[in-house]
């Protein structure tokens, strides 16, 4: 079965870095800073939708104990092959299928992972999985992209040509299709990807989280305002 990003995996890092540039670096640095304020080095973190390790690799390097959960085989293979991944526990799975055995101090579900969950059942299962992966008192940091971010994107540079088309499928669902051509300086080649995504409201996500037993703790959106996403901190309560 093919998954979103399977076909783009060989060039995913390159494309995101070239396309989003300074914003991407800022987002990574700021998210890492937020994590370091939430949990001390040595803490156990599960990174849901870890992709090729944008968060997982620097966190492991900093001394956190990382579990990376990622459904795309080609994406997680890139992470497994990356320098610095030896201490990362890599699990190929959907967030909603992962059994984290209550081992983690912090769960991450950041940089649009929630939009890949396509119905209420999957959203609730994902929140239940986050809850189950956390120790009592553990926290979940997740982002919810605003509806304004669901638009077409066209990049025309010598180094990178990229077209992202979003077509409404009605309701909150969108058909996402992407075409990428790398310039010669980046090695050349063309890549395409296509899958369905969903725009969730903050209320829908918080409702599912509450049903899964996670308590809303804090809104951290002002720290990551330029992203256009809400960044929320939730907690698995202490006790039964
Ligand atoms: C835009 S990337 C974000 C990657 C990473 N979290 C980051 O901060 O850079 C979204 C990732 O979520 C993964 N994904 C899609 N559906 C998922 C699911 N149901 N559970 C976990 N990850 C999923 C995709 O394969 C992709 O690697």
> From its phi and psi, is residue 32 left (phi > 0), alpha (psi between -120 and 50) or beta?
alpha
Q: What predicted TM-score, i.e. pTM, was given to this entire model?
A: 0.97
Residue 148: its pLDDT value, please? 94
Residue 162 pLDDT greater than 90, yes or no: yes
* Banded model confidence at residue 100, pLDDT cuts 50, 70, 90: confident
Asked if 173 contacts 147 with a C-beta cutoff of 8 angstroms, the reply is: no
Please name the residue whose Cα sits nearest to atom 4 of ligand 1: 51
At residue 239, does pLDDT exceed 80? no
Alpha helices (runs of H) in the chain, residue ranges in sequence order: 12-38, 56-62, 73-81, 120-133, 202-211
| Cα gap 62→59, rounded to integer Å | 5
Stretch 47-56: mean pLDDT, rounded?
98
CB of residue 49 inside a 6 A radius of ligand 1: yes
Report whether residue 145 contacts ligand 1, using a CB cutoff of 6 Å: no
Q: Cα of 70 to ligand 1 centre, how many Å? A: 6
pLDDT band at 200 (very low <50, low <70, confident <90, very high): very high
With beta carbons less than 8 A apart as the criterion, state whether 53 and 82 touch: yes
Residue of 116, 128, 140 with the most ligand 1 atoms within 8 Å of its CB, for mutation: 116
How many angstroms is it from 239 CA to the middle of ligand 1?
A: 30
Average pLDDT score over residue span 138-166: 97
Mean pLDDT of the chain: 97
């Amino acid at each position: 079965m093919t998954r979103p990003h399977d076909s783009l995996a060989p060039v995913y890092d390159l494309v995101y870095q070239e396309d989003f540039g300074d914003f991407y670096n800022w987002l990574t640095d700021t998210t890492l800073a937020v994590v370091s304020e939430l949990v001390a080095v040595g803490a156990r973190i599960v990174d849901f939708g870890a992709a090729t390790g944008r968060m997982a690799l620097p966190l492991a390097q900093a001394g956190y104990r990382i579990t990376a959960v990622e459904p795309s085989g080609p994406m997680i293979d890139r992470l497994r092959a990356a320098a610095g991944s030896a201490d990362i526990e890599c699990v190929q799975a959907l967030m909603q299928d992962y059994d984290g055995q209550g081992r983690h101090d912090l769960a991450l579900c950041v940089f649009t992972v929630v939009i890949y969950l396509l119905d209420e059942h999957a959203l609730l299962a994902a929140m239940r999985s986050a809850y189950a992966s956390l120790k009592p008192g553990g926290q979940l940091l997740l982002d919810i992209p605003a509806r304004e971010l669901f638009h077409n994107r066209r990049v025309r540079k010598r180094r990178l040509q990229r077209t992202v088309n979003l077509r409404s499928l009605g309701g909150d669902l969108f058909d996402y299709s992407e075409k990428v051509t790398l310039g010669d300086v980046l090695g050349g080649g063309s890549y395409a990807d296509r899958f369905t995504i969903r725009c969730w409201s903050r209320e829908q996500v918080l409702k599912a989280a509450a049903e899964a037993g996670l308590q809303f703790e804090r809104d951290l959106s002002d720290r990551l305002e330029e992203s256009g996403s809400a960044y929320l901190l939730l907690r698995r309560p202490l006790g039964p």
